[in-house]
Chains A and B, each alone.
Chain A
Amino acid sequence: MSAGPAIKQLVHGLLRELHSPASRHGVLGIYRAHVMDTARRFRVTGEEHCRARDELAHLGALYHSYLSSRRRHQLLLQTYKGGGERTTADTAAMVGFKLPHDPR
């Protein structure tokens, strides 16, 4: 089976994405089980070109692409998230000034 190693890599990639720190419990277990179970079911086909398996591998690749790009996108958004507007005191501090103690 020529597609073997590629599929193995894909399954590992998917399981890695599904191991996100945000999600420690809940649906994750069902998900991992589903991925493993599906992968196992399709491992034992003697056919060189199995249409269903190719489609499944394609779906897996799509999902992996979705999960990893979404995770990296959110990471960047978080990293570069604006801290909101600076206060007058913060702005003054940036250039080494202090505000008068009792502004009126």
Chain B
Amino acid sequence: MSALARRKFYKSVSIAGSDGKWEVNLDHRKLKTPDGRLLQVPNKELALGVAFEWDSVTEHIQTSQMHLTGLCFTVLDNPHKRTDKDLAEKITGYLDTDTVLFPVEHPTELAEAQRREWGAVLEWVRHRFGVDLQPAESGSLVCSVPQQTLDVLQEYLLTHNTWTLTGLLFAVESVRSTVLPLAALERKLVPREVARLSRLEAEYQADVWGRVEWAHDVDSLDTEARVAAGMLVAHLCSSATAHNVKHKHAG
């Protein structure tokens, strides 16, 4: 990885912009996306977040570890040519193999913990969206999610913009669950909880067999960082937050 990473080629990082168009400068050169577009983000906070990632580079630029930058690149370049509808479908597409719908049978301790902790989140989803969503039958590889549940969730997702959906999808892909990031988007869970809930089995095994820092901790921190980055972009760019409305009036 480090062999492919570019060396740091700039000294100072700054941001510039106003009115919903913020840019990041590396030594008076504007930061551009891999496709050569100007990196323009809708608010100062996100621009600062991206700028801090570039500012904290010491030697090699590893964009794979700079999630805010990566997410902005994805939204601006849209390499997979996805529409908002595609994004919403992709997000709900994780439901039938959702981590939290597949509790184990053995060992009993783990099974109980999964049913209790995941059950609480599922209960919240059912209540919040008024949908039916049950854990898979034991032994089945795919959970049959009612079409009505998918429709309701997709309709809800389509009330969000591309930035929010891209952030959400990034979080969904890192925990292989639609339910957990959805709860985070609705501010029911924080990223650390999302990461922990998505790794209940790994955590249980680590407790039984011993914890290895370079595997377990690396994994859980990476998951948390990805979920947090996705949620950050989702919340910062959501048109629904009072924070952004305030900015709009001020600008």
Contact = CB atoms under 8 A, between A and B. Distances in A.
A61 B190 contact: yes
B44 A69 contact: no
Nearest to A76: B218
Contacts of B54: 27
A75 to B, nearest CB: 9
Q: Chain A interface secondary structure, helix, strand, loop or mixed?
A: helix
A70 interface: yes
B232 A62 contact: yes
Interface in B56-91: 56-58, 65, 67-68
B224 interface: yes
Given A66-B232, A69-B224, A34 B48 contact: yes
Contact of B48 (A20, A23, A27): A27
Interface residues on A, range: 20 to 34
B213 interface: yes
A86 B187 CA distance: 49
Interface string B223-237: 011001101100110
Interface residues on B, range: 35 or more
Contacts of B48: 27, 30-31, 34
A44 interface: no
B191 A73 contact: no
B177 to A, nearest CB: 18
A23 B235 CA distance: 26
B213 A55 contact: no
A65 interface: yes
Given A28-B52, A30-B15, A55 B241 contact: yes
A56 B52 CA distance: 19
Interface string A45-75: 0000001100110110111011101101110
A69 B65 CA distance: 11
B236 A58 contact: no
Q: Chain B interface secondary structure, helix, strand, loop or mixed?
A: helix
29 contacts: A18-B52, A20-B56, A22-B58, A23-B56, A26-B55, A27-B13, A27-B14, A27-B15, A27-B48, A27-B54, A28-B52, A28-B55, A31-B48, A34-B44, A52-B246, A55-B242, A59-B232, A59-B236, A62-B231, A63-B232, A65-B192, A67-B52, A69-B221, A72-B221, A73-B65, A74-B65, A76-B217, A76-B221, A80-B218
10 smallest CB-CB distances across A and B, nearest first, come from A66-B228, A73-B221, A69-B224, A80-B214, A69-B225, A65-B228, A27-B51, A52-B242, A70-B225, A22-B56
Given A34-B45, A51-B242, A55-B243, 19 more contacts: A18-B52, A22-B57, A23-B55, A25-B12, A27-B51, A30-B15, A31-B51, A34-B48, A58-B187, A59-B235, A62-B235, A63-B49, A65-B190, A66-B68, A66-B232, A70-B67, A70-B225, A73-B218, A76-B218
